[in-house]
């Protein structure tokens, strides 16, 4: 570690492990049982508590608090963890709590995510890769978000909800049920609107892929079928387009029921 990258006004516990090229700004506090991977930049006035492991080449902006104990009343100070992967951008005022022993015991953030200002991620949540959480989005505990999902500003997600890959929530959505992969929702309570067509175009999905997923969406939402009935037809459609299997998997993983 290059000591010149550590502002002398930062407070770093002797047991904290900082990799090569880590930069720490003034008045940041890094506690014991914290490990930070190489090339990560931490701005001023950040608080990081352990046990927390942060990967490589992350960018953490001022006034964020990472690894704090959850306010969940069942939590009694057990040694739970926060794990953050590589190449994430964590903007101003983000709060991420450690896990609880009642669930996985770890809050997990994957790679290449953008958490914008004042996002909150509750205990035991799992975020995949390439997700975007826009300003003031808030996750209760035990939430799971799959890769490439986007939560617009002020989205609220109830505990134990699952949000599928490439899903999208509109501004101010209140999510109380699971969102299947590829589905766009809006409103409070959130309701399904369509496939996330624009997001899929930006990620290189072909016209044929989008047409197949749009047809699958209509099967699921427009024909009055039960989930089991829709799954039978979707399995047949998946033989012709592999992306539909991702939708099927998200439906089978649902535990709270899906948004309608």
Q: So which residues are the catalytic ones?
A: 123-124, 141
Return the closest-CA partner of residue 162 out of 150, 175, 145.
Answer: 145
Measured CA to CA, the distance from residue 126 to residue 75 in angstroms comes to 18
* Long-range residue pairs from 78-83, CB within 8 A, at least 24 positions apart, any chain: 78/105, 79/51, 80/51, 80/105, 80/106, 80/123, 81/51, 81/52, 81/53, 81/105, 81/106, 81/107, 82/51, 82/52, 82/53, 82/106, 82/107, 82/109, 83/52, 83/53, 83/107, 83/108, 83/109
Whole-angstrom CA distances from 30 to 13, 25, 76 are: 6, 11, 22
Report strand pairing: 191-195 vs 183-186.
antiparallel
Q: What is the largest CA-CA distance in the chain?
A: 64
Measured CA to CA, the distance from residue 168 to residue 228 in angstroms comes to 24
- Alpha carbon 63 to chain centroid, angstroms: 19
Residue 249 has, within 13 A of its CA and on its CB side, a CA count of 10
Whole-angstrom CA distances from 200 to 68, 107, 148, 168, 195 are: 35, 28, 10, 10, 9
């Amino acid at each position: 570690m290059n000591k010149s990258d550590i502002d002398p006004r930062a407070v770093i516990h002797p047991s904290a492990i900082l990799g090569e090229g880590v930069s720490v700004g003034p008045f940041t506090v890094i506690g014991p049982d914290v490990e930070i991977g190489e090339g990560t930049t931490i701005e001023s006035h950040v608080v990081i508590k352990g046990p927390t492991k942060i990967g490589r080449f992350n960018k953490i902006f001022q006034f964020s608090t990472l690894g704090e104990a959850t306010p969940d009343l069942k939590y009694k100070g057990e040694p739970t963890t926060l794990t953050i992967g590589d190449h994430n951008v964590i903007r101003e005022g983000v709060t991420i709590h450690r896990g609880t022993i009642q669930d996985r015991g770890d809050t997990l953030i994957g790679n290449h995510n953008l958490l914008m200002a004042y996002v909150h991620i509750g205990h035991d949540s799992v975020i995949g890769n390439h997700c975007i959480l826009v300003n003031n989005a808030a996750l209760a505990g035990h939430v799971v978000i799959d890769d490439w999902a986007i939560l617009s500003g002020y989205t609220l997600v109830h505990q134990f909800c699952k949000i599928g890959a490439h899903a999208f929530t509109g501004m101010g959505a209140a999510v109380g049920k699971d969102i299947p992969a590829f589905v766009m929702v809006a409103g409070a309570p959130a309701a399904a609107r369509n496939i996330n067509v624009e997001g899929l175009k930006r990620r290189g999905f072909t016209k044929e892929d989008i047409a197949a997923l749009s047809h699958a969406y209509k099967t699921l939402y427009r024909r009055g079928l039960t989930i089991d009935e829709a799954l039978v037809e979707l399995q047949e459609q998946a033989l012709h387009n592999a992306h539909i299997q991702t939708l099927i998997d998200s439906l089978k993983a649902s535990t709270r029921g899906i948004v309608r």
